[in-house]
A and B are shown apart, each in its own frame.
Chain A
């Protein structure tokens, strides 16, 4: 702790959130809190079977039910386009990826449980549900494939016959022949096959959507929780409704978590818009937790084999990866991109000269997969960090020395990885050393002995991770001084709970000499914010704040010049403080309100910033997890957790730590609790919180968190991004700790996630 009192605002200040007063008093406004006058309510009837040809009967009778306004199946919306997959990457055979059709409502065939079949609109939500449930769906079942590892078996039922098999795509990275050659001459090869299981985002606010249509102007308004409305608007306009983009407004109210999964256009978005136009009334759909489990895109679901070739000293000579990624029954919006994140980041923090990676995406009769917090990078970190840990065990070097021996050294920075990533900065051994000290790594043996004395198995695990954030691009910011002396920022990122309005606002407040509550952030409205790339890939603060910084500085200069004329002085003598512009060292000043209200035109009261970032940023750090396992029950308890992260620059330490805590919780969830499980018939048997284990307060350790920042030279402000890092470092750290405990006790060197009590108990009792 520094003895120096932190600045009230600006970069680095621990500012309390501007968002909170509304959210703690129940006056936040999420999608389902909004019900325009005259709203009709929609219900989506979903497939109960995983793979079947269907016919829908009883439509006319249902249309005649009281209160029912509309019943649609695929035939009724034939003029709407389907849900697009935006991945058109180059494949191993040189062709471009093409996606099978993904209709808004299933057209004669359903391919996963939850596939939407019919849309019913009625006067009330319960009338719509009653009506939808009166429809009769005649299912003619087809064979089902749900197992990722078995999807390419020659006898597996094929979901898209025109593709010939369930292989959706295959792409490669690196040099296959050179990798084979290096492996053939290696002193040692370490191999691990693991499952990165399917998980569900489970943000607490399930999705909802309200469609409105103004016949006079021909404009649609969609109100829905998003990670950025602009990309959604474009897809709705170009691909689905086929209208000019200017005719669609997307409004995003408060969003109750997104984690990647609220980036995307789902069927309900065009359905409520098209129905609002058809019926001349607002149409609202509110999904429940069951809808979330079966229709919102899932995360992870990879089956991977990784191998590393080592020389006699334990230095990695080459990496070879074979990754099979379940795509679900359709290719989702970004789905095929996700394993690419695993490919790009496959070599982690290590100086690995040669690699080859094969990625195959496969269709199964499951909910499509797509971005979930980390989106490919957790998969990369999980593989390389499990592998290097295993190498530490097999070489006898141990988990610390094997990493040190293979880290990219500081003198090699900036460093371009063999996978093509440009790591602009980082001191990996330094955060490892600090984390080991904070976690009292040296005292572990004594703690293990104490645990052993009471019959418990203790393990300690590391992950030294790196990830990729803030992909090249920009996010423009416009800052306006209002007539009342307050300021408004217009920006097209989209907070999903991260506190963007506070992070941006604390910088503007500092520059303009305002209190934070005088700085409003306008986001989430495509009519009020010109452009926007949304939230995702931990991009909002690195890119958005850099543009805010530029715009604020320009505005300050303009304000100084206006005030200089007013106060008949030089702009250089002026400071902005307490809502006024003051001549330094005097009491002569003009208030911002007075200045703004009396400025003709207003052009000088607006400023624009648009930082263009050419490369990505690479946050990195060390997680140290300590666990205790009860061999009688197989239950794992996390008894210590330490993180030292390099986020480049800390903008708001409160918000930053919150991001790290939350990311680790999701990761601990995946490591120890969560799994989306389909049975052989394709039923999702974990489709409620009764069956899908979410981490709770008593599952979570108290996390010790520190930063050891090395500023990015790619980002203008040195910021690397922090939204996903916790999720990326924690799964391997937790699992390496579990394996450490199991290896010490019974020589067990692999167990898959989630390490539930049952799985651990069975492993212990089989060994």
Chain B
């Protein structure tokens, strides 16, 4: 069980190699081997979406994928969402619109929304709510998450013009 397999992958833009047990999930590999603990585990059976990361640009439940399956893939996690010190528009919108409380589900929602908006920047309100229904949050009642994603979508469409610093 403990024979490890060597894989190479890109995580948040950095190429790396990792040695993982075949039975280890991508989520456990990210958290325990790569110490990227921003990806959270809420159910480990693929329903809550707290562990959502982007694999080759698509939102994926990292608890349902083995680490070894990420061999050759590009993985993005919440730690790679901001551009240096500059927050991603989704992060900014979650902050400004009180889109999180305990914050445990937040990385999953951010990565889900990031993947969905990259695929379709013009989602309607209904489509946004539908996509966000993929993941679970127990604190917010979702209203501010939906609002934050809608507002972030507008900012992202407006382009990467430098944002004014907000106090």
Contacts and interface: CB of A to CB of B under 8 A. Distances in A.
A26 B37 contact: yes
Nearest to A498: B101
Interface string B12-26: 000000000101000
A658 B94 CA distance: 12
B138 A204 contact: yes
A20 interface: yes
Nearest to A495: B102
Given A657-B98, A697-B142, A703-B141, A19 B103 contact: yes
A320 interface: no
A254 B103 contact: yes
B166 to A, nearest CB: 9
A684 to B, nearest CB: 15
A382 B87 CA distance: 44
Nearest to B96: A16
Contacts of A256: 40, 102-105
B82 A20 contact: no
A202 interface: yes
B94 A24 contact: yes
A257 B139 contact: yes
Nearest to A668: B141
Given A205-B102, A689-B47, A25 B138 contact: no
A747 interface: no
6 contacts: A24-B94, A32-B41, A205-B102, A654-B98, A661-B141, A689-B136
Interface in A667-707: 688-690, 694, 696-700, 702-703
B138 A20 contact: no
Nearest to B80: A26
A665 interface: yes
Given A17-B95, A24-B87, A204 B141 contact: no
B75 interface: no
A20 B139 contact: no
Kindly name the residue among A17, A22, A664, A698 whose own CB sees the greatest number of chain B CB atoms within 10 A.
A698
Interface in B14-48: 21, 23, 31-32, 36-45, 47-48
B132 A697 contact: yes
Interface residues of B, number: 53
A30 B106 CA distance: 13
A16 B95 contact: yes
A23 B87 CA distance: 12
Contacts of B91: 24-25
B140 A658 contact: yes
A23 B100 contact: yes
Given A33-B37, A259-B138, A665-B141, A204 B94 contact: no
Contacts, number: 171
Interface stretch (B3-11, B143-151, B157-165): B143-151
Interface string A14-47: 0011011111111111101101000000000000
A289 B43 contact: yes
A25 B38 contact: yes
Interface in B43-91: 43-45, 47-48, 50, 77-79, 81-82, 87, 91
Interface string A484-505: 0000000000001111000000
Nearest to B146: A697
Nearest to A130: B1
B126 to A, nearest CB: 9
Interface residues of A, number: 58
A661 B23 contact: no
B113 to A, nearest CB: 11
B40 A203 contact: no
A20 B45 contact: no
Interface in A239-288: 254-257, 259, 288
A287 to B, nearest CB: 11
Contacts of B94: 20, 24
Nearest to A27: B38
Contacts of A497: 100-104, 139
Given A497-B102, A663-B141, A689-B45, 15 more contacts: A24-B103, A32-B31, A32-B37, A35-B32, A203-B138, A204-B40, A204-B102, A204-B137, A256-B40, A259-B138, A497-B104, A497-B139, A658-B140, A661-B142, A697-B146
B45 A688 contact: yes
B103 A702 contact: no
Interface of A: 16-17, 19-30, 32-33, 35, 126, 130, 201-206, 254-257, 259, 288-289, 496-499, 654-655, 657-658, 661-666, 688-690, 694, 696-700, 702-703, 726
Interface of B: 1, 21, 23, 31-32, 36-45, 47-48, 50, 77-79, 81-82, 87, 91, 94-96, 98, 100-107, 110, 129-130, 132-133, 136-146
A655 B100 CA distance: 10
Contacts of B79: 25-27
Contacts of B146: 697
A690 B47 contact: yes
Kindly name the residue among B21, B36, B78 whose own CB sees the greatest number of chain A CB atoms within 10 A.
B78
Nearest to A288: B44
A655 B136 contact: no
Contacts of A25: 38, 78-79, 81-82, 87, 91
Contact of B102 (A24, A33, A257, A666): A257
A697 B109 CA distance: 11
Contact of A703 (B45, B82, B143): B143
Nearest to A254: B103
Contacts of A703: 141, 143
Given A25-B81, A259-B138, A204 B45 contact: no
A700 B143 contact: yes
Contacts of A24: 78, 87, 91, 94-95, 100, 103, 106, 110
A289 B42 contact: yes
B38 A26 contact: yes
A662 B142 CA distance: 8
B109 to A, nearest CB: 10
A698 B140 contact: no
Contacts of B143: 661, 700, 702-703
Kindly name the residue among B44, B103, B106, B136 whose own CB sees the greatest number of chain A CB atoms within 10 A.
B103
Given A30-B104, A203-B102, A698-B129, A661 B140 contact: yes
A20 B103 contact: yes
Contact of A696 (B32, B37, B42, B133): B133
Contacts of A658: 98, 101, 139-141, 144
A24 B103 CA distance: 7
The 7 A-B residue pairs with the shortest CB-CB distance, nearest first, are A26-B38, A497-B102, A23-B103, A256-B104, A661-B141, A665-B141, A689-B47
Contacts of B95: 16-17, 20-21, 24
Given A25-B78, A26-B79, A697 B145 contact: yes
A645 to B, nearest CB: 14
